[in-house]
Structure formats: structure tokens, C-alpha cells
Structure 1
Amino acid sequence: MKRQLRFVDNLLEKNRIRQEEQKFVVEGPHLVAEAENLIDFVLYSEELPLVAKLKKKGLNCFKVTKKQFADVSQVETPQGVLAVVNKRKFELEDIVGVINPMIVFCVGIQDPGNLGTIIRTADAVSASGVILSRGTVDLYNSKVIRSTMGSMFHLPIVQIGSVVEVLQQLKKQQVRVIATAGQAPKSFFEVDFKRSSAIIIGNEGSGLPADILGLADEVVSIPMPGRAESLNAGVAASIMLYEAVKQRKYARKN
């Protein structure tokens, strides 16, 4: 039991271990249920119906004391079950190679809540997938995982190295690259999202670098007639994704 507890603690604390083992930790009945087909083993302190179900499936389930569970838990009020799960593996082609893709590309997003919101919204609108650049907050950070509310298991998510190379590949495959910049004169309402599109969302503070903006097919802003100076990255991505959904699925037919 001590070995499993130590392994969980290492996965939670060290990105290097998560990368080496290709595993991560989810906590709480909802997330454990979402990850059911990826589970390596389960730790639990409460005899929950979910635990009984996982035991029936033959999964390794180890009971620990409430104190032991609380010591590794990442939440203020532990719910008595967590699981070590295997990472899913996707390639860029899994996202780009679908018919008429709608893609979200996160470049340098730092806030776990923002990334979780973007993934959850991408799932809600049935986006083709999410691409994460190097320098974006770790997808397997416990705060990111919780804020996705399970959506990270519903669509392909790919972590990449060179942003420029991926943008060039998108353009080769006729995917239009839509970049966001606060002062751009063109509104995102003017974009034709019915075509294959990738929406690029930049760092919360500095936005997108000039070389990335230079590779975009269109650079647009979100109109803000009120007094707010900016929107956070999660909100900005959500607004644009729902404009894409409106155009693709709910536009009036003349």
C-alpha cells in the first residue's frame, strides 16, 4: 500500500514522473468514472458504488485510511476515491484529418483554470480537438484536470513542440488559422467559421508573438464596447467557439 501511495504522490508532484510513466491521477467519483477505461489502479477510503463496480471489473482497488487518503488528496474536501490512469495518445492527424475540422490551438496558456475552461468548451461545441504548445500549463496538472470536468477524456488533445511547424502543416491541409489580438481592427464576427478553422489563443498576459500573428490567415479581436480592458483566455476562446457553432449549425437558411 505504501508503494501505491508514494507513486500517487510522485505523480501529483512531479511532471517528470508523469512523463516517464505516461500516467496521471484523477480524483473524485465523476473523474474516476470518466477515466474508467484508462485506469491502472484505484485508491479509496470510502465504500462507494463506483468502487464496487470497478472491483467487479477486476481492476486493482486498494483501500486506505481516511488520513492516508487526505494526505495525498488535492482537494479541500476529499471524496474518498482516486485513480492512477494511463495517458491517451493522439497524433496531430487525429485532429486535423477529420472532415471540416474546428480546432483550438493554445499557445502559452498559463492558468490551469483557463486551459480547463477551453477544453471543456471545446468538448461542449464538439470541436475536432485541442492543440497545446510547449510552454502551456501541463495538461495533467491536477487543477487543469478538475477544471475540465471530464472533458479531457472526450476529445483528442495533442501536445506539440514547434508552433510554426504545426501552423504550416495546418495551412497545407487547408485549415484557416484565426489568431486573436486585442487591437486587431477586424472583429471575429466577420470570420467565416463554416470553413476548416483553427482558433489560436495566446498567453494571458503577452498574447501571441509577432511571428505567430504573421502566419495567421486572419487576425481578429473580440469587440468590447464596455469598460473592461480584456477578457481572460478561457472566456475569449469560448466566445469564438460558440460563434463558430452558431455559423455551422444554427445559421438561418435564406
Structure 2
Amino acid sequence: MPESNIIFGKRTVFEALENDVQIDKVYIDRDNQFMENIKRKVREKSIQISFVPIEKLNRLTKGNHQGIVATISPIKTLDLNSLEKSIIDNNFNFLILDSVTDTKNFGAIVRTAECLGINGIIISKSGSSPINGETIKSSSGAIFNIPIFKVDHIKDAIFLLKANEIKIVSADEKGENSIYDYKFDRKTSIVMGSEGKGISKSILSLSDNILMIPMKGKVESLNVSVATGIFISELTKEL
């Protein structure tokens, strides 16, 4: 069974049910006496349900399942044309991820972006985190509620945003200006890079502003999902 078609955890499966994700089958630990709300929703939607030994769930998910696993159709992603349509619909606040490959970080970023009102997340078809069960669980199901635009090249998306007068603000620890001294424009999108390499020079060169988060402790940098949360929070509080 392909991992990309598996989701697990009570919150994640519940969010999938709430958002009409196409669920093929639900597996529940046969010794679990709880999750009645989930069982009821599964039956209401006429989804096949199977009560199985916990060992089967462990094999499907490496043990991190909270007693429930479901198989779903792959998460739908959107293309560059869809991004253009979204901009036409007056959406300006996108999060661009350059080479963020860790699934847990990606999931946490998706959760934060959805919670704080980002209009969509832009990733590259290559060199990005896969969208699999780990990603979906880390997002607590938020990935079902936010558009994911998967493009051939990040630059193409940035050129499109800039052509529509959307400012590009990038996060870099060597940025000359503090994020706390910057006033975000309503039409702004944010670029975040991987923890190891940061944002590539070619992407940074397209930025309208490059900002850093001042570090006051002994640790020199933040986890990318935490840093992303700070940037999104600063952006959305100005809107």
C-alpha cells in the first residue's frame, strides 16, 4: 500500500472526514472502545470500515497511529495556472518554500499557514517534501484546507507574483533588516528556505526585501517551522 495514500491519527482522519476527502477505507484497532464520533461519520458516509489487530496498524504506520488508519486518494495539488486564477481572485499572501524537504517541518508549516490565513503554499515539483501520511499528520489535517501549488520552478511562481505587484519578502539570517522593524504591505508573499541551505541565491536575488529574525540567545538559528510562524504572524497582523 503506497505510503502517500495512508493517513493516520484521530485528528487527521477526523479532518479528512469533515472536509470530504475521498477516503477509500478506514482501519480501526479492534480493541479501541472510543472514537465513536469518527465511527459514526465513517458510517454516515458509507465508507468501508475494518476493525483489525493493532499489529496491522503498526505495520502500516510504524506505530504512530492512535488506533486509526485510513487510505485516501492522493492529495490534490494545483499548478501555475491555478495560482494565477487565485491571484485574480484577490489572494496575495502566499508562502513559498524553497527546498524544505523534511516532512514533519513541512506539515507543521502547513498547519501554521492555514491557521494564520495564508492563501496558499507554493512548492517545487522536485526538491520538496513529499505529501505523505507523516506530512498530513504533522499538519493535523490542515493540509486539507489550504491550496498547495506545485510548480516546475519556484522562480516561475515568483515572476507571476511580482507581475501582479505582489512583494516578495525572504527570510535570511544575514538579512540587513529586522522583521520587527518592517511594515508589511497587504500584497506580500513570503519565501522560506531549508534549514541546511537556506534560500538559494537565485531566489534571494528576486526578493524585494530580505529580513532576519534577531537572535538574543546563544543558539544561532530557529527551526524553519518556528521561523515561518514568526514571519507569517508578522505579515498577517498587518492585514
TM-score band w.r.t. shorter chain: 0.7 to 0.9
Q: Quote the Cα distance in structure 2 between the aligned partners of 1:178 and 1:85.
A: 35
2:32 matched to 1:40? no
- Is contact 2:27-2:50 (8 Å) kept? yes
Letter in 2 for 1:70: N
Q: SS where residue 67 of structure 1 aligns?
A: helix
Mind listing any 5+ residue stretches in structure 2 that lack a counterpart?
none
Q: SS where residue 190 of structure 2 aligns?
A: strand
Among candidates 138, 149, 153, match of residue 158 of structure 1: 149
2:11 matched to 1:30? yes
Q: SS where residue 247 of structure 1 aligns?
A: coil
2:69 matched to 1:85? no
Q: How does 1:118-157 map to 2 (within 5 A)?
A: 118-133=109-124, 134-140=126-132, 142-157=133-148
Greater shift, 35-44 or 169-178, is seen at 35-44
Among candidates 210, 226, 235, match of residue 219 of structure 1: 210
Q: Quote the Cα distance in structure 1 between the aligned partners of 2:91 and 2:26.
A: 39
Letter in 2 for 1:204: E
Letter in 1 for 2:172: A
Q: Quote the Cα distance in structure 2 between the aligned partners of 1:119 and 1:94.
A: 21
- Is contact 2:28-2:52 (8 Å) kept? yes
Q: Which residue of 2 aligns with 1:205?
A: 196
Give how far 1:100 is off: 4.8
Letter in 1 for 2:72: V
Give how far 1:236 is off: 1.0
Calculate percent identity across the aligned residue pairs. Answer: 26
Q: Which residue of 1 aligns with 2:46?
A: 58
TM-score by length of 1: 0.82
Give how far 1:207 is off: 0.8
More helix by share: 1
- Is contact 2:15-2:144 (8 Å) kept? yes
Greater shift, 126-135 or 181-190, is seen at 181-190
Among candidates 162, 175, 182, match of residue 184 of structure 1: 175
Q: Quote the Cα distance in structure 2 between the aligned partners of 1:189 and 1:40.
A: 47
Give how far 1:135 is off: 0.7
Q: Quote the Cα distance in structure 2 between the aligned partners of 1:225 and 1:28.
A: 37
TM-score by length of 2: 0.86
Q: Quote the Cα distance in structure 1 between the aligned partners of 2:25 and 2:69.
A: 9
- Is contact 2:27-2:51 (8 Å) kept? yes
Q: SS where residue 116 of structure 1 aligns?
A: helix
- Is contact 1:105-1:130 (8 Å) kept? yes
Among candidates 87, 106, 109, match of residue 115 of structure 1: 106
- Is contact 1:102-1:127 (8 Å) kept? yes
RMSD (CA atoms): 1.9
Mind listing any 5+ residue stretches in structure 1 that lack a counterpart?
1-6, 13-17, 19-23, 249-254
Q: Quote the Cα distance in structure 1 between the aligned partners of 2:121 and 2:228.
A: 11
Give how far 1:146 is off: 1.6
Q: SS where residue 35 of structure 1 aligns?
A: helix
Letter in 2 for 1:241: I
Greater shift, 63-72 or 113-122, is seen at 63-72
Q: Quote the Cα distance in structure 1 between the aligned partners of 2:237 and 2:107.
A: 22
Give how far 1:81 is off: 1.9
- 1:125-147 Cα offsets, whole Å, 9 max, x none, are 1110111123121122x322221
Letter in 1 for 2:147: P
